[in-house]
Homo-oligomer: A and B are copies of this chain.
């Protein structure tokens, strides 16, 4: 096995620096940490992580907590996770995905044994019991998402408010005045109160009024069937709707089919704009969906940085970082039909 001296030589740093990285006892810049961990890997330097953890009270493991309920692990979620994991690795940490129940009952087990240095919490609800639990447990954490009042909490999140305004700006600029919004129906599920939905719906309802436009919200059931049914109900509520925002990947195809079935061509008669989704998801459809793309890569990196800055003591600022989705135009949005 390689010695600490060999690791120091390979990385071109002092043995003290290697020790700081290994034991997490002092701040080392991310660039130097990366050099040292690379050298450790190349030389197969094996500290005993458990013994080290006992000595330093650090494991350099952080966990992204994800609800066990439902099968909510979307490609966008995967993008958050994979990029956060890569960033953590660059900074000398391991990020793992840890399924926890939505009520937070198993959080004690996971964090109080000293196995993880900190956690990132995803799929946040407006009043999330897991946030209360984590605060009580005193474990460092960062949210990807925001509770109702997140002023005192560290978070990174999609700026849903700006995303919806930008989406409506885009559509209104093309002459649309009657809008629909399709959201997942979460009533009676453990994910009821899911913050992104509530923020999107609030902003949409407020903004269409401010714009002097019409807006209809429908909640869709699962899959294509849910999308077709949502199209039917939307057209029943507003037969003159010309633009639909949809935040539900699994029902987008059904929504398109439902619109066609009712004699509406997309985008000639009705435009469809997918919200907080990915280019890959939008490209699965025909026509390819114009999409407000979720900044999964940047938010994943920022979430990892926010937590690790805190763990390493490199920043004492409370991270509050919001980033809107960015429009990727494709084939499902066009000018409003002239009457």
Contact = CB atoms under 8 A, between A and B. Distances in A.
Nearest to A76: B71
Interface string A226-265: 0010000000000000000000001111101100000000
A290 interface: no
A94 B61 CA distance: 14
A68 B54 contact: no
A4 interface: no
A73 B75 contact: yes
Nearest to A49: B113
A186 interface: no
B96 A224 contact: no
Contact of A225 (B98, B114, B223, B283): B283
Interface stretch (A78-86, A163-171, A199-207): A78-86
B257 A115 contact: no
Contact of A99 (B63, B73, B85): B85
Interface stretch (A25-33, A103-111, A123-131, A308-316): A103-111
A251 B286 CA distance: 11
A106 B68 CA distance: 27
A148 interface: no
A98 B108 contact: no
A284 interface: yes
Contact of A223 (B40, B228, B280): B280
A115 B61 contact: yes
A269 B53 CA distance: 64
Contacts of A222: 280, 283
Interface string A39-71: 011001011111111100001010100001001
A328 interface: no
Contacts of A288: 224-225
**Which of under 10, 10 to 19, 20 to 34, or 35 or more describes the interface residues of A?**
35 or more
A285 interface: yes
Contacts of A14: none
A4 B52 CA distance: 27
Interface string A85-107: 11001000011111100000110
A42 to B, nearest CB: 9
B224 A284 contact: yes
A112 interface: yes
Given A97-B96, A224-B285, A288-B224, A59 B115 contact: yes
Contact of A71 (B82, B105, B257): B82
Contacts of A225: 283, 288
A78 B68 contact: no
Contacts of A79: 71
Contacts of A223: 280, 283-284
A51 B98 CA distance: 21
A328 B106 CA distance: 36
Closest 5 CB pairs of A and B: A49-B113, A223-B283, A97-B97, A73-B78, A96-B96
16 contacts: A37-B109, A41-B106, A50-B54, A50-B113, A54-B54, A68-B85, A71-B78, A81-B99, A94-B98, A96-B98, A222-B280, A224-B286, A224-B288, A225-B288, A228-B286, A253-B284
